Amino acid sequence: MKTERLKTDILIIGGGTAGCYAALTISENSDAKVLICEKAHIKRSGCLAAGVNALNAYIVEGKTPQDYVDYAKKDADNIVREDLLLTMSERLNAVTKRLEQLGLVILKDKNGRYVTRGNRNLKINGENIKPILANAVKKLPNIDVLNRVNITDFFVKNNRINGAFGFGIEDETFYIIEANAVIVATGGAAGLYKPNNPGFSRHKMWYPPFNTGAGYAMGIKAGAEMTTFEMRFIALRCKDTIAPTGTLAQGVGAKQINSLGEVYEEKYGITTSQRVYGTVNENQQGRGPCYLQTEGITAEQDNSLKKAYLNMAPSQTLKWIESGKNPSEQNVEIEGTEPYIVGGHTASGYWVDTKRATTVKGLFAAGDVAGGCPQKYVTGALAEGEIAALSAINFVNENNSVPIDEALIEEHIEEAERFLTDNNSHFTTEQLEEAMQTVMDSYAGGIKTNYRFNEKQLDIADEKIVDILKLSENLYAEDFQELMYIYELRERLIVCRSVIAHLKARKETRWHSFAENLDYPDKDDKNFLKYVNSRYQDGKIRIILRDLVEGGTVYEHSY
Partner 1 sequence: MSIAIDKDKCIGCGKCHTVCPGSLIKIGEDKKAFIKYPKDCWGCTSCIKECPVYAIKFYLGADIGGMGTFAHTEKDGYILKWIFEHPNGENSEIEINQKESNKY
**For helices 377-398 and 82-89, angle between their N-to-C axes, nearest 10 degrees:** 100
Is residue 321 at the binding interface for partner 1, with CB under 8 A as the rule? yes
Question: Is residue 200 close enough to count as binding partner 1 by CB under 8 A?
Answer: yes
Considering the complex, state which of residue 247 and residue 472 has its C-beta at the smaller distance from partner 1: 247
Is there binding between residue 202 and partner 1 (CB under 8 A)?
A: yes
Span interacting with partner 1, options 301-309, 386-394, 500-508, 520-528, rule CB under 8 A: 301-309
**C-beta of residue 189 within 8 angstroms of C-beta of residue 349:** no
Looking at 416-539, which runs of residues are DSSP E strands?
Answer: 452-453, 516-517, 530-537
CA distance 151 to 155: 11
Binding status of residue 545 toward partner 1 by CB under 8 A: no
Taking CA atoms, 282 is separated from 232, 273, 274, 343, 529, in Å, by 21, 14, 12, 28, 29
> Is 376 near partner 1 (CB under 8 A)?
no
CA distances from 76 to 109, 228, 372, 516 (A): 33, 11, 10, 14
Q: What are phi and psi of 159, to 5 degrees?
A: 60, 25
Could you say whether residue 317 binds partner 1 (CB under 8 A)? yes
Q: Which stretch binds partner 1 (CB under 8 A): 87-95, 204-212, 491-499, 506-514?
A: 204-212
By the rule CB under 8 A, 96 interacts with partner 1: no
* 488 class by beta-carbon count within 10 Å (0-12 exposed, 13-18 middle, 19+ buried): buried
Across the strands, what pairs with 291?
A: 257, 333
396 binds partner 1 (CB under 8 A): no
Could you give the residue ranges of the DSSP H alpha helices within 193-298? 214-221, 246, 265-268, 272-284
Residues 127-186 that bind partner 1 (CB under 8 A): 127-128, 147-148, 169
Under the binding rule (CB under 8 A), the answer on residue 307 touching partner 1 is yes
Q: Applying CB under 8 A, what is the total number of residues that bind partner 1?
A: 61
**Quick one: which segment of 101-109, 156-164, 399-407, 503-511 binds partner 1 (CB under 8 A)?**
101-109
**Residue 390 · residue 130 · CB < 8 Å:** no
Q: How far is the CB of 419 from partner 1 (least distance, A)?
A: 18
Q: Which residues contact 87 (CB under 8 A, 6 or more apart)?
A: 354, 383, 387
**Closest separation in Å from C-beta 522 to partner 1:** 37
Q: To the nearest whole angstrom, how small is the minimum distance from the Cβ of residue 117 to partner 1?
A: 7
Angle between helices 406-421 and 480-505 (to 10 degrees): 110
| Alpha-carbon gap, residue 411 to 418, rounded angstroms | 11
Smallest separation (angstroms) from partner 1 to the CB of 246: 9
Q: Which stretch in 64-72, 99-107, 259-267, 354-362 sits in contact with partner 1 by CB under 8 A?
A: 99-107
Decide: is 436 part of the binding site for partner 1 (CB under 8 A): no
**Interaction residues for partner 1, span 102-131 (CB under 8 A):** 105-107, 115, 117, 123-128
For partner 1, the closer CB: 50 or 224: 50
Smallest distance, partner 1 to C-beta of residue 516, A: 27
* Identity of the residue, 45 or 272, whose beta carbon is nearer to partner 1 in the bound complex: 45
Residue 413 is a binding residue for partner 1 (CB under 8 A): no
Work out whether 409 is an interface residue with partner 1 (CB under 8 A): no
What whole-number distance in Å separates Cα of residue 159 and Cα of residue 176? 19
**Where in 8-67 is the site for partner 1 (CB under 8 A)?**
39-41, 43-46, 49-50, 53-54
**Contact status: 435 vs partner 1 (CB under 8 A):** no
Q: Using CA atoms, how far apart are residues 536 and 493, in angstroms rounded to an integer?
A: 14
Contact 428, 42 (CB under 8 A): no
**Separation between Cα atoms, residue 382 and residue 137, nearest integer Å:** 13
Instruction: Work out whether strand 452-453 and strand 516-517 pair parallel, antiparallel, or are unpaired.
Output: parallel
Spell out, one character per residue from 240 to 279, where the chain touches partner 1: x when CB under 8 A holds, - when not: xx-----xx-xxx---------------------------
Give the footprint of partner 1 on this chain (CB under 8 A).
Answer: 39-41, 43-46, 49-50, 53-54, 105-107, 115, 117, 123-128, 147-148, 169, 197, 199-205, 208-210, 240-241, 247-248, 250-252, 303-308, 310-311, 314-315, 317-319, 321-323, 481, 484
